[in-house]
Each structure stands twice: as structure tokens, then as C-alpha cells.
Amino acid sequence: MPTAYHMVHYRRFDANSAGSQNITLEGLCRQALDQEDSSGVSLWGRAQDRLFDLADPSGRQVILNRVADLSSAVFGEMCLFQSQDFQALLELQASKVQLSNITTAEIFNLAERSAPSGSKFIRGLGYWIAIGNHLFFVKTQSMTAQFIHNYIEWLLKTCTSAIHQGAVFKLQAEFDKTQVTGDIGDITSLRVSGKSAPQMTIMPSSDDGEKKMVKTSRTLIDKSYISEKAVSIAEAVFGKARTDALIESLGPDEYLSADASVKVRGRRTAQSREKLRELANDLAELTDEKVQVEGKDGKLSDDDAILRTRMPFNQPHAGSNILEFDHVADQLQVVYSRFVQDGKIEA
């Protein structure tokens, strides 16, 4: 069966902010979906009532489509679509067209089609699972983490009354590194972001009226570790002459800013894994610039940690934008179990 790799993102529900210390996010989702309408039908059985309007100019909407109680978790599939939507098509039938006074070219025609009556084009998919106060999700195409956040908040506060309307709904994405007891796995890349203040020209006055040009350079930090600084990065990309010319052109309120990213690709060895860890520790000591360390299970940036990992997911056929519902549920539970086992989160 064909597979596609997607990033699994992690969030933690802040029960204290929501005033729901006695019930978890999983329990709240289950409680919301259990709520019945006047005819006694629960939200599980009312697809139309699970439709959320994002209230944006594009007329985008999100529906919680397939959703299941797994007894140990609540798992759902979200679909993003637009109320007024057209799909652009390239019609592979060539024709000669005069495009200007000079040019006549053979082209393919562009066209647009609306979705068949009674259907919508899906612009993005989101798959999420709530286990206790832990939320794991995968998003594709135009689905965003914010849409998923907004939908769950709407589900719990507006669509139902699982939590109070005035409660603060917060899904924590970044954690103090001391809150994440495990590590982020094998380091895959290091990134350093730095700034360099502009060259400044000083023209001191003199008694004889002669003006002298004096060039000086001020750096934001005075560390000896300069190989990752913005100027050095620019010189590596553009060469010294072009970098010097760029610096000379900077105005009084401008400065260079550059990112450097180092990755190790191919089959990893124990030596390269250990060396990257050493470099990550050294960078934290040798530079005051922003250092970002990314591993297979997350990302560290300064004092913050973000947990995430890439996983394979089955597709119904090669090239599909849809993921196999049951397999996504299994894979997200695998990530949960691994994060618990590795000490990154608590069960």
C-alpha cells in the first residue's frame, strides 16, 4: 500500500485555564459529541451540526467528518472547504493564439470547474486524536494548526456547552525545556540566526576644515565565535567583495541578518550523531545568537521545546491527498506511546 510521510504535531490542553481540572480534553470532546438535540440525537449522528464557519472572506468552512470514540481516545477527521470554490484545469488540447503584436504561440487552455452538485472540493484535511490532555494531529494541504485549534474551541464552547463560554481555551505548543523530561531524539539540523550592525561612517570636524573618513564596525555581541555571524554567512554565499559592497550600501537603520543551517544527510553513524550533539551544546555556549536544534522528535529553540515527529501514513492509492482513517488512528497512538515511553510526556 502506498504511504506518505507527514509531520505529527503535539499540543497539551491547559485544563487550568479552561477551568476544567476535573475532566481531560479527551473527556470534554466525548462529552461534547454525546450532547443530544431536542429529538434525542447526539452530535455523533448529526454531521451538519458539526460544520464550523471560519467567517473569513474566502467563505472557508471546516467539518468534523469521520469521528470515533476509541474508548481510550477520541479520534477525528476534519475537512476544509470553501462555500464558493472553483478548481483550475489545464485542458490538454493545443491551439494557436496571438498573445501580442509579435507573438503567436501554441498553448493549452485554462479553465475552471465547480464541484459537482451536492459536493465540495476539499482544500485541506486534518486528523487529530485526544488522549487525556494530549492532542496529536496531522494536517495536509491548506489545513492549519490554527484551524484545528479554532474548531475544537468552537466544538467545546459554542457548538456545545462542554466548557463555559468565558473559559480560556489554550493548546500549548511550546514548553519550557525543563517541562520536557526526554530529549528530541537524533539531531538532524542546527540553525543559527544572527545579526550584524551596519558599517558606520564617522566624519569628525577638524580645525582646518578638512574632513576625514573613518570607518568603524560595531557588532551586537563580542564573542570570538564568529563563523556563524551574518557577515560570514553572507561572504560564504556572495563572496567577500559583494558582501562588502552590500554592507557599504546599508543605511543607518539597516543591518545584515542571516540564517545558517547545517544538516547531515544519508545513513547516520553513531559518531555523527554524537558530534552533532556536541556542536549543539558548544553553540549554546559560544554564541548569544538564536540557536535552533531540530531532531526527529521535536525542536529546541533557546529555552523552548516543541514536540513533533514525522510518521508514514497509508494512502488509498499513490498520489492521494487522503489518508487511511484507521491507519492514522493507529499511527497517532504509536507516537503517543513512544513519547510516553521516552519520557517526553506523562500518560
pLDDT tens-place string over residues 279-292: 554 544 444 444 45
Q: Please state the domain count of the chain.
A: 2
Q: Does the residue 329 lie in any domain?
A: yes
Residue 206 sits in the same domain as residue 289: yes
Residue 162 sits in the same domain as residue 18: yes
Residue 202 sits in the same domain as residue 54: no
Residues, the chain: 347
Query: If you ran DSSP here, which 8-state letter would residue 197 be given?
Result: P
Cell numbers at residue 107, please? 498553448
Cell numbers at residue 120, please? 465540495
Range of the domain at 200: 187-295
pLDDT of residue 251: 80
pLDDT of residue 293: 54
Q: Does the residue 256 lie in any domain?
A: yes
pLDDT of residue 193: 47
What φ, ψ does residue 158 adopt, rounded to 5°?
-110, -50
Residue 58 sits in the same domain as residue 197: no
Q: Does the residue 330 lie in any domain?
A: yes
pLDDT of residue 264: 58
| 3-state DSSP assignment of residue 310 | strand
Residue 216 sits in the same domain as residue 241: yes
Closest to 153 measured CA to CA, from 139, 169, 138, 129: 169
Closest to 192 measured CA to CA, from 266, 292, 316, 296: 292
Q: Do 78 and 64 form a contact (C-beta atoms < 8 A)?
A: yes
Q: Does the residue 346 lie in any domain?
A: no
Task: Tell me the residue type at 143.
Answer: M
Residue 147 sits in the same domain as residue 224: no
Residues of the chain short of pLDDT 70, as ranges, are: 174-229, 258-268, 272-305
Residue 15 sits in the same domain as residue 127: yes
pLDDT of residue 228: 41
Q: Does the residue 70 lie in any domain?
A: yes
Residue 45 sits in the same domain as residue 177: yes
